[in-house]
């Protein structure tokens, strides 16, 4: 006799599980705890099988009967409902792995070992904010150029023209990864060339004019702010590394400070180009380090800070330059340009200079080898640069006396 809604609703648990049959293979399984589940029994290829339909009341009697009838249709077509359901689950799992977000995160995971952590975190946060909400759930093979353009146009509308361009590049990289792994056949960003606003002329971080160097060095000597910040700026001028490389420096990276060939060995994990970088240290740089050591509180960091990163913030040195009167006149990063200009004009080997600036080395084998290449010449070059700075400081003192 077919079940009724009332009979299903009032079914209570007993000492043992029991079944309430609706006929036509459908029955309600009632467990001792009172929980109820729809099941369907059928025979396929001479074997008795049971298919779980779902719990009551999430699935009503009427819905359970619909699913039972669908099961009968599959059997009439010669299909095993259990195997058909497994195939559906496999297809769903496959489709979910082919979405833009799933493939994007897979690509990021693949690339992580070669990226600086700060870069990967920044890239993922931008994808989470701007790209995944719009494209993430879409099968990557179905995404068309207008959909991508709509995403990057929204970024442009915020005035972030350069960010929009970079985000489209990342989207293109994800599509090319999907093509390589057989989950897409084309990269729609290729159809969008010329569709974005021009970012305009690049704005280079301002370098201190050469003629202002004597006054700056005098002002730096007279700076009355935090001693650690003052020493960080001095070390920046002497080594002209990237700001992040200096801020995150650790004492364990320095070698031979008491010897004739002191060296700062910056590990590949902290370098923009992911190659170890060697910085020969002039005696003036060693003197700064010796002055800095008593200020760090026995920290592993040169410039410890209670902030999130654990070391000096990105703007600390820049704000110190503002206090010294150089707001809008120069940036911390700009000292790389000052050093590069003087070294080139002084006639030093361009390979020495490029290696000391840790510029991109396209050939990975050559790049790894070049971390130490020209070290003797670069050591003399760095000492000459430090002596030049001393001369400029003396010049500033005599002009202002």
116-142 tens-digit pLDDT: 676 778 888 889 989 999 998 889 999
Give the chain's mean pLDDT: 86
Within 10 A of 114 (CB to CB), how many other CB atoms are there? 11
Check whether residue 225 and residue 187 sit in a common domain: no
SS3 23: strand
Residue in the block written with tokens 């350069």:
162
Which pLDDT does position 253 carry in this prediction? Answer: 96
Please answer whether residues 311 and 247 qualify as being in contact, where contact means their C-beta atoms are separated by less than 8 angstroms.
yes
Instruction: Say which residue, 338 or 207, is predicted with more confidence.
Output: 338
Could you tell me the CA-to-CA distances from 196 to 136, 147, 152, 271, 360 in Å, in that order? 22, 14, 8, 31, 27
- What is the domain-level CATH number for residue 134? 1.10.150.130
Stretch 283-292: mean pLDDT, rounded? 96
* Cα–Cα distance, 18 to 33 (Å, whole number): 12
Sign of CA dihedral 118, 119, 123, 126: positive
Check whether residue 243 and residue 370 sit in a common domain: yes
SS3 17: coil
Indicate whether 358 belongs to any domain. Answer: yes
Element (H, E) at 44: strand 36-44
Domain hosting residue 50, numbered range: 5-80
Which pLDDT does position 362 carry in this prediction? Answer: 42
Check whether residue 386 and residue 266 sit in a common domain: yes
Within 10 A of 294 (CB to CB), how many other CB atoms are there? 9
Catalytic positions? 242, 272, 333, 336, 359, 369
Check whether residue 140 and residue 181 sit in a common domain: yes
Lowest mean pLDDT segment, chosen from 192-196, 240-244, 318-322, 382-386 = 192-196
Alpha helices in 248-312 (DSSP H): 283-292
pTM of the model: 0.52
SS3 359: coil
Cis preceding-peptide flag for 285 (omega within 30 of 0)? no
Check whether residue 174 and residue 277 sit in a common domain: no
Which of 48, 80, 112 finishes a domain? 80
Instruction: Say which residue, 366 or 334, is predicted with more confidence.
Output: 334
Question: Domains in the chain: how many in total?
Answer: 3
> Burial of 88 by CB count in 10 Å (0-12 exposed, 13-18 middle, 19+ buried)?
exposed
pLDDT band at 289 (very low <50, low <70, confident <90, very high): very high
Check whether residue 261 and residue 392 sit in a common domain: yes
Lowest mean pLDDT segment, chosen from 200-214, 253-267, 356-370 = 356-370
* Cα–Cα distance, 7 to 11 (Å, whole number): 6
% of residues, the chain, pLDDT over 90: 48
Check whether residue 290 and residue 383 sit in a common domain: yes
């Amino acid at each position: 006799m077919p079940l009724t809604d009332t009979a299903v609703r009032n079914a209570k648990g007993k000492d043992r599980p029991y079944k309430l049959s609706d006929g036509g293979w459908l029955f309600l399984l009632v467990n001792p705890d009172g929980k109820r589940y729809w099941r369907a029994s059928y025979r396929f290829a001479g074997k008795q099988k049971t298919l779980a339909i779902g719990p009551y009341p999430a699935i009503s009697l009427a819905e359970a009967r619909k699913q039972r009838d669908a099961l009968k249709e599959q059997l009439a077509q010669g299909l095993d409902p259990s195997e058909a359901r497994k195939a559906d689950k496999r297809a769903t799992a496959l489709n979910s792995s082919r979405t833009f977000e799933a493939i994007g995160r897979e690509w990021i995971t693949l690339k992580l070992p070669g990226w600086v952590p700060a870069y990967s975190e920044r890239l993922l946060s931008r994808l989470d904010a701007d790209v995944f909400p719009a494209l993430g759930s879409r099968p990557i093979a179905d995404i068309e150029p207008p959909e991508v353009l709509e995403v990057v146009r929204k970024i442009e509308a915020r005035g972030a023209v350069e960010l929009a361009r970079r985000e489209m590049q990342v989207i293109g990289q994800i599509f090319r990864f999907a093509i390589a792994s057989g989950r897409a056949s084309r990269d729609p960003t290729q159809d969008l060339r010329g569709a974005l606003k021009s970012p305009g002329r690049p704005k280079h971080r301002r370098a201190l004019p050469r003629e202002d160097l004597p006054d700056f060095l005098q002002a730096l000597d007279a700076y009355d702010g935090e001693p650690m910040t003052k020493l960080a700026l001095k070390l920046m001028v002497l080594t002209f590394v990237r700001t992040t490389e200096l801020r995150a420096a650790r004492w364990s990276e320095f070698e031979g400070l008491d010897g004739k060939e002191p060296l700062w060995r910056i590990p590949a994990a902290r370098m923009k180009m992911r190659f170890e970088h060697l910085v020969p240290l002039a005696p003036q740089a060693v003197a700064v380090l010796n002055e800095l050591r008593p200020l760090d509180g026995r920290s592993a960091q040169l410039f410890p800070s209670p902030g999130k990163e654990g070391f000096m913030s990105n703007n600390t040195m820049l704000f110190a330059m503002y206090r010294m009167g150089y707001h809008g006149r120069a940036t911390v990063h700009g000292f790389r340009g000052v050093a590069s200009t003087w070294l080139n004009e002084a006639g030093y080997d361009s390979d020495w200079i490029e290696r000391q600036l840790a510029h991109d080395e396209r050939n990975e084998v050559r790049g790894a080898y070049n971390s130490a290449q020209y070290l003797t010449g670069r050591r003399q070059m760095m000492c000459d640069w430090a002596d030049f700075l001393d001369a400029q400081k003396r010049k500033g003192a005599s002009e202002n006396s």
